[in-house]
Structure 1
Amino acid sequence: MKVILSINPVRFPLTGIGRYTFELAQNLKKLPQIEELMFFSGSRFVRDLPETTQFSGHTSSTSANFRGAILKSRVAVKIYRTTSALANRYALRGHASHVFHGPNFYLPPFDGPSVCTFHDLSVFTWAHCSPPERVRFMRKEIALTLKRADMLITDSEYTRQEIASYFSWPLEKIRAVSLACSSDFRPRTADELSPTLRKHGLSPGGYSLFVGTIEPRKNLDVLLDAYALLPQSMRQQWPLVLIGYRGWRSEKLHARIEAAVTEGWMHHLGFVDSNELPLLYAGARVFVFPSLYEGFGLPVLEAMASGIPVVCSNSSTLPEVTGDAAAMCEPQDVDTLSRLIATGLEDEIWRGEAKSKGLLQASSFSWRRCAEETAAVYREVIS
């Protein structure tokens, strides 16, 4: 098989879809059935994946601000959409013998077979949780993708069924291919953890953890309410640590976070380096993730792989990812969430069972398997 993979999402520091694209590319290169793998970035072919050293935090921030400004201008978006389609069609001419894979909702005009990965439907079903200009842009791009794609890939069976129902798309033309997490997420010894945790004022097993963008869809208001119901002594002994970018519509939430930090039962670390993140996972006593909606739920997989008990909501894809390893409740059930967090902190019998089940569940996911199942989709569209 000859494959063209768009690597537009690969920007450092790697987050969800960027990580997926990067790992998929690395593992597709290892598959013997892939005769040729070409990488497409912007409107041109590139030799290989970018490296961390090619980017800086300043560059990423500047690019994000520029993209945000472009999206707010309808005229600029129309010009961009027209010119990029022409540039992509020109660059891709003569490659119809390849399969083109867009790993991030978008497909350019292409004469050969095309596959696209849809990670979720949040811009349709949770549009109020995203900036309106981003929603407008993505909805139009997704409409074009649905006209161009021969098959779709989703991260989960939940999203596969959701897409088929929402767009009346043939279910047999959608394949669910699970994600995985890095091997860096694994159980660690206290000696491995202490230097990094000490830097953040933490100790091994001395805190609860949440990882994700600070935005409405992550349901952090409910998490703060649930944590506030715990006895003060428990909150002081095991403070809640939040890790993640500042998201859209989060001003009031950040005011609550600052108040909790002042009261001494929360640490807000913001974005942390990818070298430190696995250590902060492995050092937690319990991982808490009450999200309202996920396309996959990579943080809970990372926590299970780290040997950390998980408490999460039973929404969308999370039951699919955690199996029977996590303690779950309805996303808006503050009292039950608080009770489950207390169990995760204090009940050693449950904690031991949750760790064992979580490690077993996490071991069933791998990037190699993701690449192999994705290559099987390529084979389907060719035949």
Structure 2
Amino acid sequence: MKIILSIDPVRFPLTGIGRYTFELARHLKEIAQIEQLRFFSGYRFTDDLPKAVQSSKPNIFSPSNLGRTILKNSLTVEMYRLISTPIKRYALRGYSDYVYHGPNFYLPSFEGPSVCTFHDLSMFTWAHCSPPERVKYMRKEITLTLKRTDMLITDSEYTRQEVAAYFGWPLEKIRAVPLACSADFRPRTANELIPVLRKHGLNLHGYSLYVGTIEPRKNLDVLLDAYTLLPPSVRQQWPLVLIGYHGWRSEHLHARIKAAVSEGWVHYLGFVDTDELPLIYAGARVFVFPSLYEGFGLPVLEAMASGIPVVCSNASTLPEVAGDAAAMCEPQDVEALSNLIVMGLEDEIWRGKAIKKGLLQAAGFSWKRCAEETLAVYREVI
């Protein structure tokens, strides 16, 4: 079996789709049944995965970087399309005996069998949460991908059903292959945690935690409302820590966060180094994730693997990821979410059960399994 894997999304620091592509590539390399595994980056082949020191300079041909580089207006989008399409087609000629895998929605014109991973449908169902030119570009590219690909991979069964229904695509040509989280997310000792927590002004098991982009789709208005319902003494004892990039149309959220920070019950850390993030997870009292829509919900898995109780919404894919380990409620139910947060902070019996269930649930996900199930999809298209 011969495979070409696009590694365009692999940019450091690794997040989301970049992490998925990096881990998939690493584990595919370990599978003996794969005779040749070639990585395709931009418009050329490369023998090795990027390292952090190699990724400081953006690759203009990487779709994962379009939001920062060229997705500013319609003219640059079309220029990119006119330039990149024939270059990629030319670079991939003569490889029809390979399977080409696009891990990030995009699939160039390719003469052999091909597979593409769709992580969610946010560009169609939550378009108002992304820059309009990015939405326009991705919609056009996804439509082309559906014409080119032989099979699709999704991160969850929920997204598998959603893609089939939305596009009228045959369900038998879509496979759900769950993601995993890094082994860095695990329970830690106090000695491991305290130096990093002290650096960020945090106390061991002295805070609630949210990790994710600061954007409307993550339902942070409801989270802030729910935390406001907590007694002031509870909010002061266990402040809410928020970690994540500034998202699209997040000005209102940041204004609320700034006000809560000034009142002393929110800490906003912004982006946190990859080495420190697992430690901040493991040092939390409870993890809260009331998102309205996810393609998978990796932060929930990371929290469970870290030995932290989880409170989340029951929206989209989150029940698949959390199983029966998390306390869940409807995403817009502020009072229910507030009550669950109190339970996560104060109910020691529930906390103990949630930690044990969460560790067991998280153990069922692995990048080795992800690679093996992806290999099975390659076999199908061959």
Please report the TM-score for the alignment, with normalisation by the length of structure 1: 0.97
Counterpart mapping for 1:1-383 below 5 A: 1-56=1-56, 59=57, 67-68=67-68, 70-382=70-382
How big is the shift at 1:76? 2.1
Gaps of 5+ in 2: none
Gaps of 5+ in 1: none
Quote the Cα distance in structure 2 between the aligned partners of 1:265 and 1:111: 57
1:321-364 per-residue CA deviation (whole Å, 9 max, x = no partner) reads: 00000000000000000000000000000000000000000000
Structure 2 vs 1, CA of residues 66 and 303 (structure 1 numbering), >3 Å: closer, same or farther?
Answer: closer
Structure 2 vs 1, CA of residues 98 and 60 (structure 1 numbering), >3 Å: closer, same or farther?
Answer: closer
How big is the shift at 1:60? 5.6
Quote the Cα distance in structure 2 between the aligned partners of 1:111 and 1:49: 24
Quote the Cα distance in structure 2 between the aligned partners of 1:320 and 1:215: 23
Quote the Cα distance in structure 2 between the aligned partners of 1:365 and 1:257: 33
1:18-61 per-residue CA deviation (whole Å, 9 max, x = no partner) reads: 000000000000001111000000000011100011234xx469
Quote the Cα distance in structure 2 between the aligned partners of 1:228 and 1:219: 15
How big is the shift at 1:72? 2.6
Structure 2 vs 1, CA of residues 218 and 314 (structure 1 numbering), >3 Å: closer, same or farther?
Answer: same
> Is the 2:67–2:134 contact (alpha carbons within 8 Å) kept by the matching residues of 1?
no
What amino acid maps onto 2:363 in structure 1?
Answer: S
Structure 2 vs 1, CA of residues 35 and 358 (structure 1 numbering), >3 Å: closer, same or farther?
Answer: same
What amino acid maps onto 2:308 in structure 1?
Answer: I
Quote the Cα distance in structure 1 between the aligned partners of 2:312 and 2:198: 27
How big is the shift at 1:204? 1.2
> Is the 1:12–1:60 contact (alpha carbons within 8 Å) kept by the matching residues of 2?
no
> Is the 2:6–2:41 contact (alpha carbons within 8 Å) kept by the matching residues of 1?
yes
How big is the shift at 1:82? 2.1
Quote the Cα distance in structure 2 between the aligned partners of 1:66 and 1:286: 35
Quote the Cα distance in structure 2 between the aligned partners of 1:65 and 1:320: 30
What amino acid maps onto 1:243 in structure 2?
Answer: I
Quote the Cα distance in structure 1 between the aligned partners of 2:36 and 2:167: 33
> Is the 1:300–1:322 contact (alpha carbons within 8 Å) kept by the matching residues of 2?
yes
Residue 288 of structure 1 aligns to a residue whose secondary structure is strand
Please report the TM-score for the alignment, with normalisation by the length of structure 2: 0.97
Structure 2 vs 1, CA of residues 366 and 13 (structure 1 numbering), >3 Å: closer, same or farther?
Answer: same
Structure 2 vs 1, CA of residues 81 and 20 (structure 1 numbering), >3 Å: closer, same or farther?
Answer: same
Structure 2 vs 1, CA of residues 65 and 325 (structure 1 numbering), >3 Å: closer, same or farther?
Answer: closer
Moved over 3 A (4+): 59-69
> Is the 2:4–2:99 contact (alpha carbons within 8 Å) kept by the matching residues of 1?
yes
Quote the Cα distance in structure 2 between the aligned partners of 1:84 and 1:92: 12
Structure 2 vs 1, CA of residues 80 and 321 (structure 1 numbering), >3 Å: closer, same or farther?
Answer: same
What amino acid maps onto 1:119 in structure 2?
Answer: H
> Is the 1:13–1:52 contact (alpha carbons within 8 Å) kept by the matching residues of 2?
yes
Quote the Cα distance in structure 1 between the aligned partners of 2:59 and 2:249: 18
Residue 71 of structure 1 aligns to a residue whose secondary structure is coil
> Is the 1:314–1:328 contact (alpha carbons within 8 Å) kept by the matching residues of 2?
yes
* Identity within the alignment, %: 77
- Compute the RMSD of aligned alpha carbons: 1.4
Quote the Cα distance in structure 2 between the aligned partners of 1:45 and 1:55: 16
Structure 2 vs 1, CA of residues 138 and 180 (structure 1 numbering), >3 Å: closer, same or farther?
Answer: same
Quote the Cα distance in structure 2 between the aligned partners of 1:186 and 1:61: 33
Quote the Cα distance in structure 2 between the aligned partners of 1:261 and 1:209: 14
How big is the shift at 1:290? 0.2
Quote the Cα distance in structure 2 between the aligned partners of 1:66 and 1:281: 30
What amino acid maps onto 2:79 in structure 1?
Answer: I
Residue 97 of structure 2 aligns to a residue whose secondary structure is coil
Quote the Cα distance in structure 2 between the aligned partners of 1:61 and 1:237: 45
Number of aligned residues:
380
What amino acid maps onto 1:49 in structure 2?
Answer: L
